[in-house]
Structure 1
Amino acid sequence: MRDLGAGFGHLLKGQRWVARHGRSYGFGLLPGLITLVLYAAALVGLALWGSDFVAWATPFADDWSSPWPGLFRGFLTAVLFALALLLAVLTFTAVTLLVGQPFYESLSERVDRDVSPDGTAPESNLPLLRELWISGRDSLRILVRAAGWGVLLFALGFIPIVGQTVVPVIGFFVTGFFLTEELASVALQRRGVELRDRLALLRSRKRLVWGFGTPLGVAFLVPFVAVFLMPGAVAGATLLARELLGEETRDGDDDRSEGGSTDPAVSSGPASAY
Structure 2
Amino acid sequence: MGFGRGAGYLLRGLRLWRERPALMLLGIVPAVIVAAFVATLLVVLVIYADDVVGWATPFADDWDDAVRGLFRGALYLLVLAGAAMLAIVTFTGLTLAVGDPFYEKIWKEVELSLGGDVPDRGVGWVRGALDGLVLVGFGILTTVGVFLIGLLPVIGTVVGAVLGLVVSGRLLAGELVSRPLEARGLDRAARAALMRRHRGAMLGFGVCVQACFLVPLGGILVMPAAVAGATYLARSALDGRLEARFEGQPGGS
Normalising by the residue count of structure 1, what TM-score does the alignment of the two structures yield?
A: 0.80
Once residues 134 and 69 of structure 2 are traced to their aligned partners in structure 1, the CA distance between those partners, rounded to angstroms, is 37
Q: Shift of the alpha carbon at 1:10?
A: 0.5
Secondary structure at the aligned position of 2:239 is classed as coil
Once residues 149 and 136 of structure 2 are traced to their aligned partners in structure 1, the CA distance between those partners, rounded to angstroms, is 20
Which residue matches 1:106? Answer: 105
- In structure 1, list runs of 5 or more residues that go unmatched: 250-274
**Cα 1:202/1:60, change in 2 over 3 Å:** farther
- Read off the aligned partner of 2:118 and give its amino acid letter: A
Corresponding residue to 1:235 among 220, 228, 235: 228
Which residue matches 1:262? Answer: none
- In structure 2, list runs of 5 or more residues that go unmatched: 243-253
Once residues 144 and 177 of structure 1 are traced to their aligned partners in structure 2, the CA distance between those partners, rounded to angstroms, is 14
**Cα 1:125/1:33, change in 2 over 3 Å:** closer
Secondary structure at the aligned position of 1:63 is classed as coil
User: Which range moved further: 191-200 or 211-220?
Assistant: 191-200
- Read off the aligned partner of 1:144 and give its amino acid letter: G
- Whether the 8 Å CA contact 1:124–1:189 is kept in 2: the answer is no
Which residue matches 1:184? Answer: 177
Deviations 1:179-221 (A, max 9, x none): 2123223322322334555445434422111211112211111
- Compare the two structures and name the one with the higher helix fraction: 2
Matches within 5 A, 1:14-29: 14-29=13-28
- Answering whether residue 118 of structure 2 is matched by residue 121 of structure 1, we say yes
Deviations 1:120-177 (A, max 9, x none): 4113476xxxx22212222333333332232222212222333133332222111211
Corresponding residue to 2:136 among 137, 143, 146: 143
**Cα 1:203/1:65, change in 2 over 3 Å:** farther
Secondary structure at the aligned position of 1:100 is classed as helix
- Read off the aligned partner of 1:60 and give its amino acid letter: F
Identity %: 37
Once residues 152 and 189 of structure 1 are traced to their aligned partners in structure 2, the CA distance between those partners, rounded to angstroms, is 29
Moved over 6 A (4+): none
Superposed CA RMSD: 2.2
- Aligned residue pairs: how many? 242
- Whether the 8 Å CA contact 2:6–2:233 is kept in 1: the answer is yes
Which residue matches 1:261? Answer: none
Secondary structure at the aligned position of 1:246 is classed as helix
Q: Shift of the alpha carbon at 1:32?
A: 1.0
User: Which range moved further: 238-247 or 68-77?
Assistant: 238-247
- Read off the aligned partner of 2:37 and give its amino acid letter: L
- Whether the 8 Å CA contact 1:104–1:186 is kept in 2: the answer is no
**Cα 1:74/1:67, change in 2 over 3 Å:** same
**Cα 1:199/1:59, change in 2 over 3 Å:** farther
Matches within 5 A, 1:160-199: 160-195=153-188, 197-199=190-192
- Read off the aligned partner of 2:22 and give its amino acid letter: R
Which residue matches 1:54? Answer: 53
